[in-house]
Amino acid sequence: MIPVLSAFFFVGQRCSRHVANSFRTAILTVPDAQNCSVTKPLIRSLSNWASTFGYAGEPAASSGTRHAVGLFGRPELTRPEDWQRLADETEDRCDMLLAEVLDTAPEDGVEVVALIDEMSDQLCRTYDAAECCRNVHSDPRWRAAAGKVCVQLGEYISRVNHHEGMYQRLSGALAAYESSLAALEKRETPRLGPRQLAGWCRESVMVAHKLKQDMEQAGVHLSSESHRARVAELAAANGHFGAAFNTALTDPSKVGRVRIALGRSASLEPSNVAALMVSEPDEQVRKKIYMAAGKSPACNQHLLEDMVATRWELARVQGYPSYAALRMAGGSLARTPGAVVAFLEQLAADVRPMAEQELQALRRLKAASSDPSPSGATIHAWDVEYYAARARQLLITSQPSAVLRYTVVPSVLTGIRHLLWRVFRMEWRISEAAPGEGWAPGVLRCEVEHPELGPLGVVYLDLGDRPGKYPTAVTFPITCGREVPPTRGGGGRQLPVMALLASASGTCPTTGKPAMSYRELRVLLHELGHCCHNLLSRTKYQHLWGTRCAQDIVEVPSHLFEYFASDPRVMAVLARDRSATAAGADGAMEDGEPLPEGLLKELVAGRSVTAALELQQQLVLSLVDQWMFGEQPPGGPYAEVNASVGTPEGTSARATTISEIWRQAVDVASSVPYVQGTSPELRVGHLTIYGGAYYGYVYARCLAAQLWRLTGLAEAPLDPVAGNLVRERLLGPGGSLEPLDLLAGLAIGRAAGTSLGSTSDPAAAAAAAATAAGATPGAVAVAARQRRLEPWQVARLRQRGLDKALASPAEGGFLQALQGGFAPRSEPYLELIRAGRGGA
Ligand SMILES: [Zn+2]
């Protein structure tokens, strides 16, 4: 999801895909009981126009010519009761796989990795599908049945995470492999034979390490029984605090109301507060709402305190210096919280002059307003959104509905098909879902193919508006992609399946058809970035598939896709008034009339009017997140505050401290001062969800701005050569490369003409990479045959990429080494803000 620029300090950036994902990594996490029901007043289905436009020449579902195929195209899911049977069968299959794991000798250890990945896949295929169903299905019986199964499988996953026998087989397998490598180096006889050694490829080693680490985060490796029990207890408590915190935010009785005038009161629900901060003209009323919202819901104070303490202990018991360090150990570009904080503080200093300029413009608006404020032209926290909206109104002179002529849903989908074909050679064939296949009227089924890679997978698109629909744009994985081992299903690839939900809340003024606002179009592109990451990922194991990559890389493709929305050449493909063309939705790329460039300029400028202030807001959230869950600087804010601040009556010392952390983050990163007497942290659900990983969004913005240039997309956004580079080096590898290697691979650039990651032909990729590393022809042949690189070849390639990625900015370097980790350089992103194109 793209951030909503509203309610200045209350709204963070949260991608729903990421949230959904983070709760479902099998062999890792127990599900969260998130409740996401928001009612919308308008019922509108896309089924009418979908059949009218006759997607892909398929007959409409209503004609009865397509057979019912089960939910998500699975014949085993035709009634809500099927969930229970499916969950039970999944557990049975996993029990059998577990028995096989326990029967495998350490010498055949790579088979242990394959079996555990298979087990994880079996669990994900049911758990992810149920997680999606319980959130999106329009029928409450389906939602309830799927929700029950999520709880059941969550408990099963937790038991598997703590299975000592499985952990021992896995660590034994890895130890046998690693000791054999060490023996070979010393010219001694290795424990594993040549065939057993050859079974291990780079990806197998990586998956083995990650699985082991995941299990260790559940405490399975701890020697003392009491420590293991304590970790389980803390993990359960952590989940509870997060769920309770977020539930309170949507509970009207907990968030409360504020009396703003005689006979007038307002609900303090976050969405209502956000709306009033933009629209309420009376400053005193805005201030009253802001102050009241800054103290509610009061119950979140102790939930947050307890969560901070729980996570701290959870990390310490497992030997990490902080919770953020524990999260980063799972694979990250940043590597250390210190690198993150240094980066955030530097960026905060760099963006401040731009933010001050934006603030100056808002001050002028306030001073010129007809109703002079008693507080003068000072911009307070409760003024920012109000005057930012006025500034946007001044910039966008066209009617808000002007864009809707060009963003009618079928026409946008036609544009997307053209765009994805031109850039990535992906062919999207769109039809209506068969009866029972979708979860609501109007769900579309997109089958995606590539001329060389073959079928890529299926994306279900849900753009309709209806009461109770999932409240934000989101991508749910339903089936992961992976190679199917020849021994288990005959080889080939398991094709991924996803659900993409977004909205089209507008109506075309001329045709009356559903249409997207500019923001909704941008959000759709963001989610498509996640889908394409998954569709084009070519990993061997599902554990490393697509968006199952590092926490500070996962948002990079989606942010890169957002840039398509500000480029006039792309928008001329995406946003066209095709109403007059007979071909309708499947028309040619040039059919109809493109969105006028002047209007696009206004829209882009409108989104960017307070881009620097908005970045400051993201920096405050990222810093608070690091300071609460990351390493503390010497004597850190926490300790200093504890020493210097007394405990006001009725509040605890810890709560004062967290507010104080917030105040310090505002001092460092924001041009709008902190408001004494408020506790903004009570309303930021992101703090509970990310816990030390929120910085990933700021990293992604900076990296995407770099990659937009580096890949050649900025120059030619419809160029398949640039698209190929993105596909091969950013999307294809998924999580199968360490983030630093992934970015180093991109930095080698087009010139090397090779890939460090997976391609359609791993043998060819390995041979090409070996050549690039300067291998002898013999070694190249070996690399090709074994489909893997020798360690020295990887090391040399890596060094070349690293040298380039870490070169000076003038030489195209885009990373910096900071305090034991890495961060993006932020110059290109700041340039975009300076040029009025940095809206997010
Ligand atoms: Zn996202």
**DSSP class of 729:** I
Position 372 scores a pLDDT of 61
- Ligand 1 centroid–CA 558 distance in Å is 6
Q: Which of 300, 280, 298 is nearest to 288 (CA)?
A: 280
> What are the residues facing 499 on neighbouring strands?
460, 476
Q: Determine the distance separating the centroid of ligand 1 and the alpha carbon of 694, expressed in angstroms.
A: 12
For tokens 């998500």, the residue is 72
Q: Residue 194 C-alpha to ligand 1 middle, in angstroms?
A: 43
Q: Is there a contact between 274 and 11 (Cβ–Cβ < 8 Å)?
A: yes
Chain segment 305-359, per-residue pLDDT in tens = 889 889 988 888 888 889 999 999 888 999 999 999 999 999 999 999 999 999 9
State pTM to two decimals: 0.88
Distance 500 CA to ligand 1 centre (A): 12
Name the percent of the chain lying above pLDDT 90: 60
697 CA → ligand 1 middle, Å: 9
pLDDT confidence of residue 486: 77
For residue 578, pLDDT beyond 60: yes
% of the chain beyond a pLDDT of 70: 81
The Å distance, Cα 1 to ligand 1 centre, comes to 5
Distance from residue 18's CA to the centre of ligand 1 (Å): 6
CA of 533 to the centre of ligand 1 (A): 11
CA of 335 to the centre of ligand 1 (A): 21
Cα of 387 to ligand 1 centre, how many Å?
Answer: 28
**Long-range contacts made by residues 490-494, C-beta under 8 angstroms, separation at least 24?**
493/538, 494/121, 494/542
Give which of 729, 717, 724, 735 is closest to 801, Cα–Cα: 729
Calculate how far, in angstroms, residue 225's C-alpha sits from the geometric centre of ligand 1.
39
- Look-up of token digits 């969550």: 154
Range 217-220 contact pairs with CB under 8 angstroms and sequence separation of 24 or more:
217/28, 217/318, 217/326, 217/330, 218/28, 218/158, 218/161, 218/162, 219/162, 219/317, 219/318, 220/161, 220/162, 220/163, 220/164, 220/167
Calculate how far, in angstroms, residue 352's C-alpha sits from the geometric centre of ligand 1. 26
Give me the pLDDT at residue 284, please: 92
Report CA(622)–ligand 1 centroid distance (Å). 16
Q: What is the pLDDT of residue 54?
A: 39
Distance CA 789, CA 767 (A): 8
Instruction: Give the residue-averaged pLDDT of 262-285.
Output: 92
Single-letter residue type at 749: G
Assign 774 a pLDDT band (cuts: 50, 70, 90).
Answer: low
What are 537's two structure tokens? 């990922």
The average pLDDT across 133-155 equals: 95
Ligand 1 centroid distance, CA of 475 (Å)? 8
Tell how far the Cα of 618 is from the centroid of ligand 1, in angstroms: 15
Q: Please report which confidence band the pLDDT of residue 635 belongs to, taking 50, 70 and 90 as the band edges.
A: very low
Pairwise pLDDT comparison (768 vs 179), residue with the higher score: 179
pLDDT tens per residue across span 519-572 = 999 999 999 999 999 999 999 999 999 999 999 999 999 999 999 999 999 999
Distance 547 CA to ligand 1 centre (A): 10
d(CA 544, CA 206) in angstroms, rounded, equals 9
Q: Give the confidence band of 89 by pLDDT, cuts at 50, 70, 90.
A: very high
pLDDT at 263: 85
682 Cα to the center of ligand 1, angstroms: 24
Q: What is the mean pLDDT of residues 193-197?
A: 90
Closest among 108, 117, 116, 114 to 180, alpha carbons compared: 108
Which secondary structure element, helix H or strand E, spans residue 329, and what is its range? helix 323-329
Over 60: is that where the pLDDT of 233 sits? yes
Identify the residue with better confidence: 230 or 654: 230
Highest-scoring range by mean pLDDT, 80-94, 505-519, 619-633: 80-94
pLDDT-based confidence at 763, cuts 50/70/90?
low
